[in-house]
Amino acid sequence: TMRLTPVRKAVSHATYCRNLVQRFDKDHYTTTLLLPDEAQPAVFAARALNVEVASIRDTAKEQMAVQMRFLFWKDAVASLKQVYCYASYEPPMVDLTTPVAFSPTHH
């Protein structure tokens, strides 16, 4: 069973995503390192999102918790489109979506 451990110290969103992919998705971590530096944060964010979503069933003990976590990620990803609709948009408190929304390769 895959077990995600909470981050103990404050790290940047990009670093969190990179570390998560390095720990749980070594193949994609290695191949992402071959991309240009400016593309890496967005790709690590997308891969980290995949790790998080893929781990939901392994980490949640009750079906209701599984559904709530899926809904959380669905809403978090859906909220990214608001970046382009509202000038005063504040990104959700989600480590994985911020690098995708604000990466230079996302535009």
Q: Is the dihedral of CA 85, 87, 93, 99 positive or negative?
A: positive
Q: CA-to-CA distance for 101 and 107, rounded, in angstroms?
A: 9
One digit per residue, the tens of pLDDT, for the chain of length 107 reads: 566 666 566 778 889 999 999 999 999 999 999 999 999 999 999 999 999 999 998 888 899 999 999 999 988 888 876 665 655 555 555 555 555 554 544 44
CB 33 within 8 A of CB 40: yes
- pLDDT tens for residues 75-101? 888 887 666 565 555 555 555 555 555
Separation between Cα atoms, residue 62 and residue 60, nearest integer Å: 6
User: Is pTM beyond 0.85 here?
Assistant: no
